[in-house]
């Protein structure tokens, strides 16, 4: 059961399937790539060879890939160690395929489903016990070759050695940063990252009324808090308001009762108007920002000012020293208040999700660093601010403790990590050795 994975059947060669197939082939794993038709499979291979960045570093590696169709070649999965399903995000399609593949695969093979949001238990419900023991969710991020994070999610019946075997392969051979998540909506990275984005848009409404510029909001939500330079609006321009709207709708249905994310599942009015007008982000030629080409060939950045609903030239922002670190969220001017509500609120949200979405803080911190390129994860940020100072501000604002803050307080601890990060505070209130990064 612990044998190394050497062959993979990738079912579905779309964006994710072709990315996974290309990366496996590049690492000299034999790949059987099946799609709905021969043409679809050939298109997938074309995407692998010519993609940007190409999923294969040398054309010869494409010889590791054999193409076929889901209707004629599915029995060939009997030769594969890992059956990696990457078809469309549709529960019935995934369930039908699982039922078809289960009798064909050999004992000891592992199965994974790539889903962004369908619970594993819904995919496996009523299917044979052998499948339920051998299956996980593999939540890769797009583009697969570039993004380090891989969330692996076991189900209630998944055997630990199945999770370990896939984690070893994806960590050691594919170079992924493996994080272990639970079978809950949006897993870890997107649960916290989407909360930050959606709540941020709502808190920005108030901040703009208080006179902050959108550029200031993006400046506050980048370098000072250790997030990428796109900040808030810039990141949503990359993702697209249509995707954010879909994410919010999914969260509205699937977030547990009482989850504070439920307050932020719809877009604020100004963004809703942008969405309806097709002003989605970079893919539609502009969202919150756009680049104008001037007659002299130079480019000019413009901002769609939410306060006036008009385009204007972007302004350059210089933050003061007081707003240049995580500590800024402890202040009380308009910049600090926005940072406190958005980033401080996200830290609170994360601290309330252990152990519900992850057994420990380490997997949460890694998910945010590897999936969203945050310099520090939420608990590392809390440690940088000082959890006791953060709690003082919570008290002063009349806000309740989040679960892991109570754990820290009851343990008489002052930080979530100690001994240079080699130990972390568990949900049981004791310190444990921090596992090596995969």
Ligand X SMILES: NC(=O)c1ccc[n+]([C@@H]2O[C@H](COP(=O)([O-])OP(=O)(O)OC[C@H]3O[C@@H](n4cnc5c(N)ncnc54)[C@H](O)[C@@H]3O)[C@@H](O)[C@H]2O)c1
Position 234 contacts ligand X (CB under 6 A): no
Residue where the block lists tokens 């169709």? 69
Question: What is 3-58 written as a DSSP string?
Answer: PPP-EEEEE--SHHHHHHHHHHHHTT-EEEEEESSHHHHHHHHHHHHH-SS-S-SS
Residues 132-161 that bind ligand X (CB under 6 A): 139-140, 142
Position 14 contacts ligand X (CB under 6 A): yes
**Gap between the Cα atoms of 264 and 241, Å rounded:** 14
Phi, psi of 84 (to 5 degrees): -115, 100
Least distance from ligand X to the Cβ atom of residue 96, Å? 8
Least distance from ligand X to the Cβ atom of residue 19, Å? 8
Position 3 contacts ligand X (CB under 6 A): no
Q: Name which of 116 and 133 has its Cβ closer to ligand X.
A: 116
Q: Name which of 15 and 284 has its Cβ closer to ligand X.
A: 15
CA distance from start to end of the chain? 20
Residues 26-45 that bind ligand X (CB under 6 A): 35-36, 40
**For ligand X, which stretch binds (CB under 6 A), given 13-21, 251-259, 260-268, 403-411?**
13-21
Residues 68-107 that bind ligand X (CB under 6 A): 70, 86-89, 93
Least distance from ligand X to the Cβ atom of residue 33, Å? 9
Least distance from ligand X to the Cβ atom of residue 238, Å? 12
Least distance from ligand X to the Cβ atom of residue 14, Å? 2
B/e letters for 254-281, b = 16+ CB within 10 Å, e = fewer, are: ebeeebebeebbbbbebbeebbeeebbb
Contact 55, 14 (CB under 8 A): no
Work out the widest C-alpha separation in the chain, in whole angstroms.
67
Kindly determine how many residues on this chain lie close enough to bind ligand X according to the rule CB under 6 A.
Answer: 21
Q: Name which of 36 and 373 has its Cβ closer to ligand X.
A: 36
CA 301 to chain centre: 28
Position 15 contacts ligand X (CB under 6 A): yes
Strands 135-140 and 149-154: antiparallel
Dihedral angle computed from the Cα positions of residues 202, 208, 214 and 215, in that order, rounded to the nearest 10 degrees:
-130
Least distance from ligand X to the Cβ atom of residue 155, Å? 16
Residue with CB nearest ligand X? 14
**Gap between the Cα atoms of 215 and 232, Å rounded:** 10
Q: Name which of 180 and 379 has its Cβ closer to ligand X.
A: 180
**Gap between the Cα atoms of 6 and 56, Å rounded:** 17
Which of 86, 205, 70, 221 is closest to 140 using CA atoms? 86
**Gap between the Cα atoms of 129 and 133, Å rounded:** 6
Least distance from ligand X to the Cβ atom of residue 67, Å? 12
Q: Name which of 37 and 300 has its Cβ closer to ligand X.
A: 37
Residues 101-120 that bind ligand X (CB under 6 A): 114-116
Least distance from ligand X to the Cβ atom of residue 209, Å? 34
Q: Name which of 246 and 315 has its Cβ closer to ligand X.
A: 246
Q: Which residues bind ligand X (CB under 6 A)?
A: 12-17, 35-36, 40, 70, 86-89, 93, 114-116, 139-140, 142
């Amino acid at each position: 059961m612990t044998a190394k994975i050497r062959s993979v059947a990738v079912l579905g060669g779309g964006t994710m399937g072709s990315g996974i197939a290309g990366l496996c082939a590049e690492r000299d794993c034999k790949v059987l790539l099946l799609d709905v038709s021969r043409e679809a499979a050939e298109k997938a291979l074309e995407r692998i060879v010519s993609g940007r960045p190409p999923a294969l570093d040398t054309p010869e590696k494409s010889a590791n890939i054999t193409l076929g169709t889901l209707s004629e070649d599915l029995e060939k999965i009997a030769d594969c160690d890992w059956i990696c399903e990457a078809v469309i995000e549709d529960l019935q399609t995934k369930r039908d395929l699982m039922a078809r593949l289960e009798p064909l695969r050999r004992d000891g093979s592992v199965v994974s489903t790539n889903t962004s949001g369908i619970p594993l238990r819904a995919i496996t419900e009523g299917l044979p016990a052998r499948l339920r023991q051998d299956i996980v969710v593999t939540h890769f991020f797009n583009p697969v070759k570039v993004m380090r994070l891989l969330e692996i999610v076991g189900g209630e019946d998944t055997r630990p050695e199945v999770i370990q075997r896939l984690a070893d392969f994806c960590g050691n051979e594919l170079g992924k940063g493996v994080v272990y998540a639970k079978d809950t909506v949006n897993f870890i990275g997107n649960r916290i990252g989407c909360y930050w984005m959606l709540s941020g848009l709502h808190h920005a409404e108030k901040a703009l009324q208080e006179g902050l510029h959108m550029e200031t909001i993006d400046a506050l939500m980048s370098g000072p808090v250790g997030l990428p330079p796109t900040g808030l609006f810039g990141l949503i321009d990359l993702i697209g308001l249509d995707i954010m709207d879909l994410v919010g709708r999914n969260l509205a249905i699937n977030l547990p009762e009482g989850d504070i994310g439920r307050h932020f599942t719809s877009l604020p009015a100004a963004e809703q108007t942008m969405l309806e007008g097709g002003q989605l982000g970079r893919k539609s030629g502009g969202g919150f920002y756009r680049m104008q080409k001037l007659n002299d060939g130079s480019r000019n950045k413009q901002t769609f000012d939410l306060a006036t609903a008009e385009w204007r030239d972007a302004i350059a922002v210089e933050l003061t020293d007081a707003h240049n670190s995580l500590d800024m969220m402890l202040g009380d001017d308009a910049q600090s208040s926005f940072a406190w509500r958005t980033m401080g609120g996200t830290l609170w949200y994360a601290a309330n999700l252990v152990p519900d979405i992850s057994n420990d803080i380490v997997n949460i911190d890694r998910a945010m660093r590897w999936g969203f390129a945050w310099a520090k994860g939420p608990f590392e940020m809390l440690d940088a601010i000082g959890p006791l100072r953060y709690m003082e501000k919570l008290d002063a604002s009349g806000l309740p403790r989040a679960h892991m803050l109570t754990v820290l307080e009851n343990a008489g601890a002052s930080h979530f990590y100690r001994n240079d990060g080699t130990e972390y505070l568990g949900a049981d209130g004791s310190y444990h050795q921090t596992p090596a990064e995969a």
